[in-house]
């Protein structure tokens, strides 16, 4: 007589193969999406628009001129200003 085939072992093998394939596909997808993400560092780019607006609204605001790097105007506004931390 012919032996009955044990389908539980076959199903277990198929289950593990499917799990491995799913894990590999998710890993590949994760690596692909990781390449697309840009790392952004706070303060890495200089945006002077805020300080330029502040200078327009308040022309004697010393700290805005300091942020813009205009030390000649800072000395005109406040002759006693020093850059000591």
What is the residue extent of each domain of the chain? 7-37, 40-85
Distance from C-alpha of 69 to C-alpha of 41, rounded to nearest angstrom: 22
For the chain, the maximum distance between any two Cα atoms, rounded to a whole number of angstroms, is 108
Higher pLDDT, 58 or 44: 58
**Mean pLDDT comparison of 7-11, 33-37, 38-42, 60-64, highest-scoring range:** 60-64
SS3 34: helix
Tokens 């790392």, residue located: 39
**Mean pLDDT comparison of 5-14, 21-30, 67-76, highest-scoring range:** 21-30
Which pLDDT does position 4 carry in this prediction? 66
Higher pLDDT, 36 or 23: 23
Distance from C-alpha of 56 to C-alpha of 64, rounded to nearest angstrom: 10
Which pLDDT does position 24 carry in this prediction? 96
């Amino acid at each position: 007589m012919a032996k009955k085939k044990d389908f539980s072992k076959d199903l277990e093998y198929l289950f593990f193969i499917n799990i491995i394939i799913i894990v590999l596909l998710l890993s590949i997808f994760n690596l692909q999406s990781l390449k697309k993400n840009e790392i952004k560092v706070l303060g890495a780019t200089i945006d002077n628009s805020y300080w330029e607006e502040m200078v327009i609204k308040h022309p004697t605001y010393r700290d805005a001129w300091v942020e813009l790097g205009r030390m000649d105007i800072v000395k005109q506004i406040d002759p006693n200003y020093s850059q000591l931390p």
